[in-house]
């Protein structure tokens, strides 16, 4: 027999095969050996070791497995979310699976959730991007005794769309209100306001725009509020935003409610030198271009919804539910109340960390000086 | 003179040969191997709940693949079918919003599907635009119509449609039953009717077929209409299944899955040969892989990696067996 790398043998041992299959697999014969070997290697990469001792003070537990169903599994926004999940699972001797759809196809997410129920997952976290489709699968999971939380997205405003135990993420409407409140706090005192949005009506961004609109209305500051659709790819967003801002010389404030539009807004404000006219600009998320604009001053602020916590905290909640036999129940958690401004942007931009998804390495992030407050 | 000796061994050998001569044999073997593997890897694989989940992975791909095979065999392709899938349930909704009862509203959506196929077909065969380009344009056009008319906002299944929901994807097994029925019907069409014979002839050699009196244009247009109509029907089934009408449903993902299923099942992309049962088995392979990977807990990013490798391995095996078959080795 050819020489087999010890790592491969070790990985194959995790498969629990009979001796003949094992030999054939190692010799590389047989129809399924390639896929078997691939699976074994993946499994061998550290997901299936039994827990030697309990986490911290806790008793030894089985390696509970939590399934995360996401609507855009490969989106960079969720990179820190996956690090959060991985870190929490490493703390607690658990396993996880990151699955769902690559481009918001709800049917695929529903299938992945149902497969999680069939596989008897120990807990499920779902990004509920549709207010109806997940009701059945979530009920099926709860009926099967599997705790379910939602993360990142939670149906429509006033309608969570499922019977999940709790939501961990950013309440979208409230975060929109924060966007508007920060605009007033930054010195907005009336005039034309424009709000850029990638896809009007989309459940995961429209409520933000509504929140900003309502806060401005309630503030009593005299203004007009216009919502402009920009589309979903950056070049097109740049065109749409530049066209609008060039055509409206009296704009006093420009807001954006999604990561792409915010990035494009910052670039356009810089290009048209709108800061010279005193335009206030703000938006959402921490795309590299957005941070650049905050640093350069063309964006006054952007809202961080802390994607790391959207992975870390659901694992904690599901783990405690399992550990306590359901006595410690997941609670709604708002992960969003953090503004990034010129004062604190350096710590996001200059330091590469797992918490923002910009680095894979584990390390302590140093900070110094006072903590900004009102 | 002595009768040829038929030892049991030779009988088995002949049985194997007979089996492998079926075009679908290799893919069936792959399917069985995968099922055996996943059942050994996780005992819940063959439970009823999971079989229902697998059927939900398989059915939409299998139905669209049935149409796509007809088109591929006749030498064309429809890239827009996934976007017809997204638009159709919205058309049903708009129909019901304007006062139609549910069944006429569904008929309207299906007719729209056939009409889109007609346009695809006319532009392709009459104006001579390659179907890859025609249907690429149609892909964006349909997507635009869906997004604009729906404001990119999902809608619930209207209350008036609840009554038929169980038949149309609401019931756990409804979708796969439709899929199997459609596969059987269109396999018969392809291999037992004049339409099927002409489809193969057109894809194998359009010029020769036309000389022999086959109405090449009609065959192609008809197959475009069938594909688009099946896409519309699948979209409606899926909307009923997930109880929500989604502007981002279907799309290029399901279209490519259907083409992959067809190709895995032995359909030649260049036209002239293919089977719908093979495409169904291709859809089963894709569905079993996706479900199985979810069951054993492979994360999404590795998933594409393994899926891609699995498709390539299945294809290489397929081509290899096909070569043996033409050489007469089996």
* Residue A358 falls inside a structural domain: no
User: pLDDT of B152-186, one tens digit each?
Assistant: 778 889 988 988 988 998 888 999 999 999 999 99
Looking at the structure, tell me whether residues A186 and A300 fall in a common domain. yes
**Closest partner CB to B242 (pick from A42, A104, A107):** A107
Based on the domain organization, do A196 and A282 belong to the same domain?
Answer: yes
Which segments of B39-191 are extended strands (E)?
155-156
B274 vs A213, more confident: A213
Residue from the list B37, B150, B300 with its beta carbon closest to the beta carbon of A98:
B300
- The verdict on residue A209 lying in a domain is yes
The answer as to whether A130 is a domain residue is yes
Shared-domain flag, residues A135 and A193: no
How much is the mean pLDDT over chain A? Answer: 85
Q: What domain range includes position A21?
A: 6-45
Question: Would you say residue B7 lies in a domain?
Answer: no
Is residue A293 one of the residues assigned to a domain?
yes
**Nearest CA among A41, A47, A42, A45 for reference residue A8:** A41
- Residue A52, in any domain of the structure: no
A366 within a domain of the structure (yes/no): no
Q: Search chain A and give the residue with CA nearest B289.
A: A35
What is the helix, strand, coil percentage profile of chain A, to 5? 45, 15, 40
DSSP A274: G
Tell me whether strands A223-229 and A251-256 are parallel, antiparallel or unpaired: unpaired
Distance CA B86, CA B146 (A): 7
Residues of chain B with pLDDT under 50: 1
Judge whether residue A354 has pLDDT over 50: yes
**CATH number, domain containing residue A72:** 3.40.50.2300
Q: Are residues A111 and A128 in the same domain?
A: yes
pLDDT above 90 for A18? no
Residues A182 and A288 in one domain: yes
A186 and A274 within one domain:
yes
Structural domain includes residue B200: yes
Distance (Å, rounded) from C-alpha A265 to C-alpha A193?
13
Query: What domain count does chain B have?
Result: 1
Instruction: Report the gap between the CA of B297 and the closest CA in chain A (Å).
Output: 5
- The shortest C-alpha distance from B117 to chain A (Å) reads 24
Indicate if A212 and A199 belong to the same structural domain.
yes
Mutation to test the A interface, candidates B58, B251, B300, most A Cβ within 10 Å: B300
Q: How high is the pLDDT of residue B131?
A: 95
Question: Which residues on A lie below 8 Å from B53 (Cβ)?
Answer: 111, 114-115, 118
Same domain, A181 and A287: yes
Q: In this complex, is the C-beta atom of A249 within 8 Å of any C-beta atom belonging to chain B?
A: no
Assign residue B243 the CATH number of its domain. 1.10.3470
Are A32 and A129 contained in the same domain? Answer: no
Token pair of B93 as six digits: 């909704």
As a whole number, mean pLDDT of residues A24-53 equals 49
Verify that A116 and A163 share a domain, yes or no.
Answer: yes
- Let me know if residue B314 belongs to a domain: yes
**In a domain? residue A372:** no
Specify if B100 maps to a domain: yes
Work out the angle between the directed axes of helices B102-125 and B131-150 (0-180°, nearest 10): 150
Q: Which residues of B touch A96 (CB under 8 A)?
A: 299
Q: Between residues 114 and 153 of chain A, which touch chain B (CB distance below 8 Å)?
A: 114-120, 130-133, 135-136
In a domain, residue B1? The reply is no
Residue A31 pLDDT level (bands cut at 50, 70, 90): very low
Is pLDDT above 60 for A50? Answer: no
3-state SS, residue A284: strand
Centroid of chain to Cα A195 = 23
Total structural domains in chain A? Answer: 3
- Confirm whether A327 is domain-assigned: yes
Task: Please name the member of A47, A73, A115 whose beta carbon is closest to the beta carbon of B300.
Answer: A73
Domain containing B161 equals: 25-327
Q: Give the Cα separation of B238 and A289 in Å (integer).
A: 38
Together in a domain, A156 and A89: yes
Q: Are residues A164 and A177 in the same domain?
A: no
| Residue at B33 is within a domain | yes
Write the pLDDT tens digit of every residue in A178-198: 999 999 999 999 999 999 998
pLDDT band for position A39 (50/70/90)? Answer: very low
């Amino acid at each position: 027999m050819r020489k087999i790398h010890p790592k491969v043998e070790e990985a194959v041992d995790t498969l629990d095969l009979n001796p003949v299959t094992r030999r054939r697999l190692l010799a590389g014969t047989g129809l399924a050996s390639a896929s078997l070997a691939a699976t074994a290697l993946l499994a061998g990469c550290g997901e299936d070791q039994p827990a030697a001792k309990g986490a911290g003070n806790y008793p030894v537990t089985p390696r509970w497995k939590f399934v995360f169903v996401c609507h855009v599994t490969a989106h960079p926004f969720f990179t820190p979310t996956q690090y959060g999940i991985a870190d929490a699972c490493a703390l607690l001797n658990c396993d996880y699976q990151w699955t769902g759809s690559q481009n918001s196809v709800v049917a695929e997410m529903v299938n992945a959730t149902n497969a999680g129920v069939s596989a008897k997952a120990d807990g499920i976290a779902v990004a509920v991007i549709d207010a109806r489709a997940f009701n059945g699968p979530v009920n099926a999971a709860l009926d099967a005794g599997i705790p379910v939380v939602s993360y990142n997205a939670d149906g429509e405003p006033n309608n969570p769309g499922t019977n999940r135990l709790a939501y961990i993420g950013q309440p979208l409407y409230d975060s929109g209100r924060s966007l508007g409140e920060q605009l007033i706090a930054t010195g907005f005192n009336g005039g034309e306001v424009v709000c850029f949005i990638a896809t009007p009506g989309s459940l995961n961004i429209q409520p933000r725009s509504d929140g900003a609109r309502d806060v401005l209305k309630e503030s009593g500051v005299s203004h007009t509020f216009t919502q402009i659709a920009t589309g979903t790819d950056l070049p097109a967003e740049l065109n749409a935003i530049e066209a609008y801002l060039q055509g409206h010389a009296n704009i006093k404030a420009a807001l954006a409610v999604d990561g792409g539009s915010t990035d494009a807004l910052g670039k356009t404000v810089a290009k048209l030198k709108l800061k010279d006219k005193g335009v206030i600009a703000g938006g959402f998320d921490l795309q590299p271009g957005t941070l650049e604009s905050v640093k350069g001053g063309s964006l006054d602020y952007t809202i961080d919804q802390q994607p790391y916590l959207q992975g870390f905290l659901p694992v904690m909640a599901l783990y405690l539910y399992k550990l306590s036999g359901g006595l410690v129940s997941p609670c709604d958690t708002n992960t969003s109340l953090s503004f990034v401004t010129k004062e604190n942007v350096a710590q996001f931009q200059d330091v590469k960390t797992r918490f923002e998804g910009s680095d894979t390495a584990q390390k302590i992030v140093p900070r110094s000086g006072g903590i900004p407050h009102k | 003179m002595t009768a040829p000796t038929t030892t049991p061994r030779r009988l088995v050998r002949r049985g194997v040969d007979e089996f492998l001569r079926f075009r679908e044999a290799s893919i069936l073997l792959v399917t069985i191997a995968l099922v055996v593997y996943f059942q050994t890897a996780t005992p819940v694989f063959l439970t009823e709940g999971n079989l229902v989940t697998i059927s939900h992975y398989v059915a939409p791909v299998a139905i669209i693949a049935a149409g796509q095979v007809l088109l591929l065999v006749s030498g064309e392709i429809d890239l827009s079918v996934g976007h017809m899938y997204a638009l159709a349930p919205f058309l049903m909704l708009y129909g019901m919003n304007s006062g139609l009862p549910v069944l006429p509203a569904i008929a309207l959506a299906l007719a729209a599907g056939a009409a889109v196929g007609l346009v695809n077909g006319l532009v392709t065969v009459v104006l001579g635009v390659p179907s890859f380009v025609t249907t690429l344009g149609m892909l964006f056009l349909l997507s635009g119509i869906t997004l604009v008319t729906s404001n990119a906002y999902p809608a619930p299944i209207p209350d008036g449609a609840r009554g038929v929901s169980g038949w149309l994807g609401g019931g756990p097994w409804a979708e796969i039953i439709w899929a199997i029925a459609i596969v059987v019907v269109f396999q018969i069409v392809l291999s037992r009717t004049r339409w099927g014979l002409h489809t193969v002839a057109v894809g194998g050699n359009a010029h020769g077929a036309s000389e022999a009196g086959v109405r090449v244009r009609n065959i192609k247009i008809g197959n475009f209409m069938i594909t688009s109509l099946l896409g519309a029907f699948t979209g409606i089934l899926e909307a009923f299944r997930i109880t929500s009408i989604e502007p981002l449903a279907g799309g290029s993902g399901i279209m490519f899955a259907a083409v992959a299923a067809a190709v895995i099942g032995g359909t030649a992309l260049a036209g002239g040969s293919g089977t719908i049962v093979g495409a169904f088995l291709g859809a089963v392979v894709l569905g079993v892989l996706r479900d199985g990977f979810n069951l054993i807990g492979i994360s999404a990013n590795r998933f594409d990696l393994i899926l891609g490798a699995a498709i390539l391995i299945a294809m290489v095996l397929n081509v290899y067996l096909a070569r043996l078959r033409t050489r007469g080795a089996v």
